[in-house]
Structure 1
Amino acid sequence: MKTKGYFFNPTQPEMKSHCHLYREHQPEKTSAREVSLFYQFKIDRSSPGTLPIIPDGCIDLLFCFNPSNTFAVIGTSPQHRCSYTFKNDSEYFGVRLLPEQSSFKFKCSTKELIQQQQIPLSDVLHIDHSLLEELENRSTFQERVTYFNSYLKSNLPEVDYERNLITYCLNKIYSTEGQLNIKELACETGYSDRYIRKKFEDYIGFSPKQFSQIVKLQHSVHKLLNHNLDLNDIIEEHGFYDTSHFYKGFKKYMEVTPEQYRYLFNHSFANIDQATISTISQNTKT
């Protein structure tokens, strides 16, 4: 079962804009099917220590380097936009794993993992304890990326037929930017809707429908913030029936409308009260 590979590159726009000294690096080819992104940032001592996170369908490995306490956690994809807590006066090195990754075998299903925001790495993953120490000993972001890539190469995953099925389905979803339903996947693969849904929940944590909606959301957010497109263009490109359908889907995951989110992002979320937020959509339509 083969299909052309499509690279999914979800983003966390508010993480980029809210933290200090944010850096990121796209993976090299050897880790391209395992890792979506390497990134690093700092949380200042005076910072509130919270960052808004949006659904991305991925699991992140977060390594926290703090003068008094160095540790590692799993950061999961939220089911809707919310704030995650980070430790003050710390540097974080992050590895955003692709949903189809197979290098890291968790002790429970991904569906169970995503019920929590952050979980100690050792609680859910069999991993070499020296990894955290080795990353801490690297003084630069690029050195950490290089080391983690070498770690991946030395721990190549075994062939997993069920994982191959998931990867095939994910590539189909990626290639349509989330505009594919489970019946089409069942027809193409020869497996039942129920079987595919079960495997998605075990491996991805979300149903095919939910994950497709997250992929569609990620593409919509990217175009909303980076291309300054008219909302009607986004609606047409991503197969929404109408404005109401787009708004309903967007607000389900983001808890604000597209206009509100673009306004909040462009104004750095500074001193904006709820009354202001509630009037943004009305003002943009007049």
Structure 2
Amino acid sequence: MITGSYFFNPIQPEMEAHCPIYMEFKPKCTKSQDVSLFYQFKTDKNSSGELSVIPDGCIDLLFSCDPSDPFAIIATSPEERCFYQFKPNIVHFGVRLYPEQTSIMFKCSIKEIIQQKQIPLFDVLDGYYSLFEDFYTCTTFNERIVWFKNFLKKQPLQAYFNQNIIHFCLNKIYETEGLVHIKQLASETGYSARYIQKKFEDQIGFSPKQFSQIVRLQYTVNKLLNMPHRLNDIIDSQGYYDEAHFYKGFKKYMTVTPKQYRLIFNE
């Protein structure tokens, strides 16, 4: 998401690595630039259908592309790496929304949705059953992308009084790669730390500290997989005191060490 001059590109590397068919499209511009990614994947017919998901702070809308077995769910960012269950040998279409998205209004707070992890999409959306029916007229990845973009265009604009505060704070979190303290956010916005925390929990679903840690983890994972021989650079840039501190912090959210996580992609 472009907020000011900073960019957040949340990733789910294991999904791409472990699905027999995976494709994605990153939009240049959608309504309010609320969509991070469109993606489509097929689960392995010989597997349990489990896919590992890491914290990314985002909201995913997931649709089964099989009209004989239709479902749509909303899946939120876990607080630590975990496994989500999917039926094997099924094609799924996904839309990853940025945490600050305002295009879709849900019936309950984002915090409540996050507590549930995965829930049927229409439990939190009103009057969208025709949306689900229209989805099955699409047969290709590109058609599904166009279908969802058209859906977004029909949504009324949402006015959020506190959105400028949220965007400013998110911009600082992205700018520092998750290494900003809530006291700094309070000082620079002129609002109390307690006020900022409440607005974050209402609109993002996480506290500023939790979300900052997720952003820091995303940057760390990205660098770990793309800079395999520069561990000291990762430790320094992500604000870890030393290698032990890095390993402990990484395992807290990923359930495995950095070395073990790299090996997952070499199996």
Residue 9 of structure 1: how far off its partner (Å): 1.4
Residue 117 of structure 1: how far off its partner (Å): 2.6
Residue of structure 2 equivalent to 1:136: 136
Residue 150 of structure 1: how far off its partner (Å): 2.1
Residue 83 and residue 225 in structure 1: after superposition, are their counterparts in 2 closer, same or farther (change >3 A)? same
TM-score by length of 2: 0.94
Residue of structure 2 equivalent to 1:54: 54
Residue of structure 2 equivalent to 1:197: 197
Separation in structure 2 between the aligned mates of residue 127 and residue 240 of structure 1, nearest angstrom = 47
Separation in structure 1 between the aligned mates of residue 257 and residue 6 of structure 2, nearest angstrom = 29
Write the mapping of 1:164-243 to structure 2, written as runs, cut at 5 A: 164-243=164-243
Write the mapping of 1:95-110 to structure 2, written as runs, cut at 5 A: 95-110=95-110
8 Å CA contact 2:32–2:103 kept in 1: the answer is no
User: 3-state SS of the aligned residue for 1:105?
Assistant: coil
Residue of structure 2 equivalent to 1:14: 14
Residue of structure 2 equivalent to 1:28: 28
Amino acid paired to 2:12: Q
Residue 151 of structure 1: how far off its partner (Å): 1.8
Residue 103 of structure 1: how far off its partner (Å): 1.0
Separation in structure 2 between the aligned mates of residue 163 and residue 134 of structure 1, nearest angstrom = 32
8 Å CA contact 2:63–2:73 kept in 1: the answer is yes
Residue 44 and residue 248 in structure 1: after superposition, are their counterparts in 2 closer, same or farther (change >3 A)? closer
CA RMSD for the aligned pairs? Answer: 1.6
Residue 245 of structure 1: how far off its partner (Å): 2.1
Amino acid paired to 1:7: F
TM-score by length of 1: 0.88
Amino acid paired to 1:74: I
8 Å CA contact 2:67–2:136 kept in 1: the answer is no
Separation in structure 2 between the aligned mates of residue 180 and residue 229 of structure 1, nearest angstrom = 27
8 Å CA contact 1:25–1:37 kept in 2: the answer is yes
Separation in structure 2 between the aligned mates of residue 223 and residue 168 of structure 1, nearest angstrom = 25
- After superposing the two structures, state which structure 1 stretch, 142-151 or 92-101, moved more: 142-151
Residue 213 of structure 1: how far off its partner (Å): 0.8
Give runs of ≥4 in structure 1 deviating > 3 Å.
none
Q: Give percent identity, aligned residues only.
A: 60
8 Å CA contact 1:181–1:209 kept in 2: the answer is yes
8 Å CA contact 2:49–2:85 kept in 1: the answer is yes
8 Å CA contact 1:26–1:36 kept in 2: the answer is yes
Residue by residue over 1:217-239, the C-alpha shift from the partner in whole angstroms, topping out at 9 and shown as x without a partner, is 00110111123242111011112
User: 3-state SS of the aligned residue for 2:84?
Assistant: strand
Gaps of 5+ in 2: none
8 Å CA contact 1:27–1:37 kept in 2: the answer is yes
Separation in structure 2 between the aligned mates of residue 237 and residue 227 of structure 1, nearest angstrom = 12
Residue of structure 2 equivalent to 1:274: none
8 Å CA contact 2:197–2:207 kept in 1: the answer is yes
Separation in structure 1 between the aligned mates of residue 140 and residue 227 of structure 2, nearest angstrom = 32
Separation in structure 2 between the aligned mates of residue 39 and residue 229 of structure 1, nearest angstrom = 30
Residue 247 and residue 77 in structure 1: after superposition, are their counterparts in 2 closer, same or farther (change >3 A)? same
Residue by residue over 1:96-147, the C-alpha shift from the partner in whole angstroms, topping out at 9 and shown as x without a partner, is 0001100112222222211223100011123522222222211110111122
Gaps of 5+ in 1: 268-286
Equivalent residues, number: 265
Separation in structure 2 between the aligned mates of residue 204 and residue 161 of structure 1, nearest angstrom = 15
Separation in structure 1 between the aligned mates of residue 99 and residue 253 of structure 2, nearest angstrom = 18
Residue 6 of structure 1: how far off its partner (Å): 2.8
Separation in structure 2 between the aligned mates of residue 229 and residue 109 of structure 1, nearest angstrom = 42
